């Protein structure tokens, strides 16, 4: 399984490939790796020895991206193109956002070691009894904005403390609840002033994959119905096949 995210301001690629290596456009890394590799070890070998990601335009500009891959072993690796070479992070926590680099995000976790899922106790301060009328005090200080560094912290917190599902269907359902906490609601992140929906960043869709069942799940921004493609039915399909995102009107179930 693999994915890529924007790595603006940090991605750096050489102009020419290494000797005896295949030239590879950064925008096609995930597709190429999934076609060639079955494990994260093979992905690392591909991107550090057999192929070179070069400074090559895609749709008018070089894809400033970094990548995450996982396999059936459960290991998740993060690969970042820094200083015209690949930086490999192995045995990661399985969380990646955008710039800065993974090393910076990992160090930034030190600023939130106090955040937890336990409640703070009531306190007596020189005879003044302070009692909490609300829940969630352990997560005080957890950043709620939509910068990449804050989303990394929230995703790490949610993944660490989140209850795991008892089966795949339950796990997928729980995972989408966690992803909703780092999704960008329409209207919150403004990028221009043209007066239309494109003036805002939004999470167009959220997706989840299972390396064991070979199922790919997603839900779109406008339709929260979880959809699924079972890739077992496509293993012998020689044709390129696409499936609609279904980012249209929501499916409501009337109960009366």
Contact in structure between 197 and 178 (CB atoms under 8 Å): no
pLDDT value of position 27: 96
Over the range 27-62, which residues count as b (16 or more CB within 10 Å of their CB) and which as e? Answer: bebbebbeeebeebeebbebbeeebbbbebeeeeeb
Tokens (6 digits) for 115: 């955040």
User: CA-to-CA distance for 6 and 64, rounded, in angstroms?
Assistant: 6
Contact in structure between 208 and 218 (CB atoms under 8 Å): yes
Q: Which residues contact 184 (CB under 8 A, 6 or more apart)?
A: 146, 200, 201, 202, 203
pLDDT value of position 74: 92
pLDDT value of position 164: 93
pLDDT value of position 176: 97
117-157 pLDDT, tens digit per residue, is 999 899 898 889 988 888 999 999 999 999 999 999 999 99
Strands 57-58 and 61-62: antiparallel
pLDDT value of position 161: 96
The model carries a pTM of: 0.92
- Paired with 61 in beta bridges are 58
Dihedral sign for Cα atoms in the order 110, 88, 218, 235 = negative
Q: Which residues contact 139 (CB under 8 A, 6 or more apart)?
A: 115, 116, 117, 157
pLDDT value of position 171: 97
User: CA-to-CA distance for 171 and 18, rounded, in angstroms?
Assistant: 42
Tokens (6 digits) for 39: 């494990």
CA–centroid distance for 184 within its chain: 13
pLDDT value of position 197: 80
User: CA-to-CA distance for 214 and 86, rounded, in angstroms?
Assistant: 28
78-111 pLDDT, tens digit per residue, is 999 999 999 999 999 899 999 999 999 999 999 9
Question: How confident is the chain (256 residues) per 10-residue block, as mean pLDDT?
Answer: 96 95 96 96 97 92 95 96 96 95 97 94 90 91 97 97 96 97 94 85 95 96 95 93 90 90
How does DSSP classify residue 15?
S
pLDDT value of position 166: 96
Scanning the structure block, which residue is given the tokens 């020419």? 16
pLDDT value of position 132: 86
């Amino acid at each position: 399984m693999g994915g890529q995210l924007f790595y603006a301001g940090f991605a750096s690629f050489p102009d020419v490939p290494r000797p005896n290596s295949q030239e590879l456009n950064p925008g096609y890394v995930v597709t190429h790796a999934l076609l060639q590799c079955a494990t994260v070890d093979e992905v690392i070998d591909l991107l550090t020895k057999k192929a070179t990601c070069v400074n090559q335009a895609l749709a008018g500009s070089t894809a400033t991206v970094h990548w995450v891959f996982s396999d059936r072993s459960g290991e998740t690796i993060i690969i970042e193109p820094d200083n015209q070479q690949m930086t490999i992070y192995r045995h990661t926590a399985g969380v990646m956002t955008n710039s800065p680099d993974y090393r910076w995000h990992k160090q930034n976790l030190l600023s939130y070691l106090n955040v937890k899922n336990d409640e703070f106790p009531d306190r007596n301060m020189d005879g003044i009894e302070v009692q909490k009328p609300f829940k969630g005090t352990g997560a005080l200080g957890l950043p709620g904005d939509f910068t990449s560094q804050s989303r990394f912290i929230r995703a790490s917190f949610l993944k660490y403390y989140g209850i795991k599902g008892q089966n795949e269907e339950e796990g997928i359902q729980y995972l989408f609840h966690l992803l909703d906490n780092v999704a960008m609601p329409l209207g919150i992140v403004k990028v221009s002033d043209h007066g239309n929906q494109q003036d805002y960043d939004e999470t167009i869709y959220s997706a989840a994959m299972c390396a064991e069942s070979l199922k790919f799940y997603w839900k779109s921004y406008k339709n929260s119905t979880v959809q699924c493609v079972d890739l077992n039915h496509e293993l012998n399909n020689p044709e390129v096949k696409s499936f609609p995102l279904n980012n249209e009107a929501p499916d409501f179930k009337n109960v009366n």
